Chains A and B, each alone.
Chain A
Amino acid sequence: MKFSINKPPKVIAGYTNWRKKLILMLLMGSLGILGVSLVCLNFGVVSIHPKEILSLVWNSSSGKTNSLIIWQLRIPRITMAILAGAALSTVGGAFQGILRNPLADPYILGVSAGAALGACIGIALQYSTGYYLASYLPLFAFTGAMFSLYLVYMSSKISYTLASTGLLLAGVAINFLFSALITVLLALSKRELHSMIFWLMGDLSTANWNKITIITIPVIVGCLFLFSSSLDLNALSLGEEEALHLGVNTGKLRIRIFIIGSIIIASVVSFTGLIGFVGLVVPHIARLLVGPDHRVMLPTSALFGAIFLILCDTFARIIIAPTEIPIGAVTAIVGAPLFIYLLQRRNV
């Protein structure tokens, strides 16, 4: 060591501290989520004075109608948007990393198609058998998602390609297969068509505290795990072999992130349906803002994803109120032009 023990230099010229960047982003992002949530609480069919909303948020005097609207309808819905947005964006960013493909999104590896097929089967069964299965739909969706995860994993193992292509192709193939089966179900359906389409487009209107409790743990634990793999994801950006030369076991890394990401997504979409575009577009916005270092980029994506989804959901509720449009449509309507703008500004 060339440095004296008394006075080690804290900074080496030319290197910005990523931790500072991360703390700044966490601070700004959390404040952003708080601010956007408070503003969006004001929107809804029943108009409540902002002052009353603030006082209800601080102390939930139970029983009053307005308190119920805030605490049982609007806050759960916003919380669900935060969790779903953060989960979709983090997994999207991580999948773009393991597949080394900027066009990857959380759904590209087939888990969503499995969830969708499961949910559609559940809806079809409900109408054909007459049993009320609505509260079991998440279970159907989650089972479908796990089934597709298993199929993709097994078929990627058969493939000869060492690199990410094997996993990607397996995911795309399963996506096609399951989408075809969903199309068959849609074609055969009559009354249930509306429920199926709404599920496929994503829906946060059924959010409640029970659902939030169930998905909180997989989302938070899973995302923390993905954050902890950031340095390995950085190495993988240099290429498969380069990452191996840096001591990163790329095969294991890819499978680990694929499985954990898929479980996060399965638990979210089982309750919310397929909300598209967030997981594709938000990581790119984060990368544009803080650079490609996954240690900063993934947490930033999570925070931005949360904000993006709260805003989209509010739009979905108020744009032609009291009718709600599916949130998946809003994310795409807002997200697609944004994405094209980004593509044009910079080679993503």
Chain B
Amino acid sequence: MSFPETILKIEEVNFSYNDYQKTLSNINFSVSRGELLGIIGPNGSGKTTLLKIISGILKPGKGNIFLLGENLNKFSIKKISKFISVVPQDTWISFNFKAKEVVFMGRIPYISRIKGETVEDYRISREAMVKTQSLPLSEKNIQKISGGERQRVFIAKALTQTPQLLLLDEFTSHLDLNYKYEMLNLLKKALKEEGLTIISVFHDLNLASIASHRLLLLNEGKIQKIGTPQEVLNEENLQKAYGVKPILINHPDLKVPQVIM
């Protein structure tokens, strides 16, 4: 599979939270339109930090990020929000909004503060709820639904934002098997048909292997390996990153590596 257009290019990015320790060092990679890049790596390897840098919340200490060929430094967070949307791991919401109101907040970057929202805004958010099967949750209190339901609502919210690049942080962690399957199909469809690009942090290596076109293995803040699932998920790489010797088998249908205990 080939992807002609580069959406995101990361050049020599370094980041540290304090003076003693680098969280990320010398990160270089690029992502093309329609691609799903999975980020994997042990706890504390810098996966979430990397997502925050791409979404513009954290500024890299050194290095440059190019979004559609333009330096991310030049983007206001308002402008970034029209290109990139993010599904967080889980989030605490301070007031009892209804699920549909949360989904509709995905339109906030587009709503004129004077003219207000349009019918089109409502249509987009409703469509996202239909796609993510969260429509039955519409009237429910966001604080009172389960973690998995909340995740679906947040995916709907992220799609309502009509992004070009979607960042996911372990978006399947609370989802049941059937929803995991549905979400994966939904996202793959969006990649193909709507030209969406996805970067997703995965905790589950097997899911990462099935879902991603390419995998990026982070280890102690450095890219240990980037490539197809077959290139990344081998005994040597995994042992170096996780410190245990894994058993690898091939997925019978998809022919991608799967890790078993």
Contact = CB atoms under 8 A, between A and B. Distances in A.
Contact of B106 (A228, A237, A246): A246
Interface string A235-248: 10111011011111
Interface in A221-275: 228, 231-232, 234-235, 237-239, 241-242, 244-249
Contact of B88 (A14, A242, A291): A242
Interface stretch (A5-13, A80-88, A307-315): A5-13
Q: Which of A231, A244, A246, A249 has the most chain B CB atoms closer than 10 A to its own CB?
A: A246
Contacts of A248: 77, 108
Contacts of B97: 234, 237, 291-293
A13 B82 CA distance: 26
A94 to B, nearest CB: 13
Contact of A235 (B92, B108, B122, B123): B108
Interface in A1-36: 1-3, 8-15, 19
B95 A246 contact: no
B91 interface: yes
B45 interface: no
A292 B142 CA distance: 12
Contact of A247 (B52, B81, B119): B81
A100 interface: yes
Interface in B226-251: none
B200 to A, nearest CB: 15
B111 interface: yes
Interface of A is mostly: loop
Contact of B102 (A1, A238, A244): A238
A244 B98 CA distance: 21
Contacts of A291: 96-98, 101
Contacts of A101: 94
A211 interface: no
A166 interface: no
A8 to B, nearest CB: 6
A292 B126 CA distance: 20
Contacts of B122: 12, 15
Nearest to A14: B138
A44 interface: no
B91 A239 contact: yes
A324 to B, nearest CB: 37
B91 A245 contact: no
Interface in B137-180: 138, 143, 161
B140 to A, nearest CB: 12
A295 to B, nearest CB: 9
B94 A100 contact: yes
B123 to A, nearest CB: 6
B113 interface: yes
Interface residues of B, number: 43
B119 A12 contact: yes
A245 B55 contact: yes
A228 B113 contact: yes
Contacts of A12: 119, 122-123, 126
Contacts of B143: 347
A287 B55 CA distance: 32
A13 B97 CA distance: 18
Contacts of A287: 95-96
B57 interface: yes
Nearest to B96: A292
Contacts of A228: 113
A234 B138 contact: no
Contact of B108 (A9, A10, A231, A239): A231
B109 A13 contact: no
Interface string A86-113: 0000000000010011100000000000
A291 to B, nearest CB: 7
A246 to B, nearest CB: 5
Given A231-B111, A247-B109, A10 B94 contact: no
Nearest to A293: B101
Nearest to A243: B108
A245 to B, nearest CB: 5
Contacts of B80: 247
B105 A246 contact: yes
Nearest to A13: B126
Nearest 3 Cβ contacts at the A-B interface: A247-B81, A292-B95, A12-B122
Interface of B: 52, 55-57, 76-82, 84-86, 88, 91-98, 100-102, 104-106, 108-109, 111, 113, 116, 119-120, 122-123, 126, 135, 138, 143, 161
5 contacts: A11-B119, A15-B122, A19-B116, A246-B105, A347-B143
Given A242-B91, A347-B143, 6 more contacts: A102-B94, A231-B111, A234-B101, A237-B97, A287-B95, A291-B101
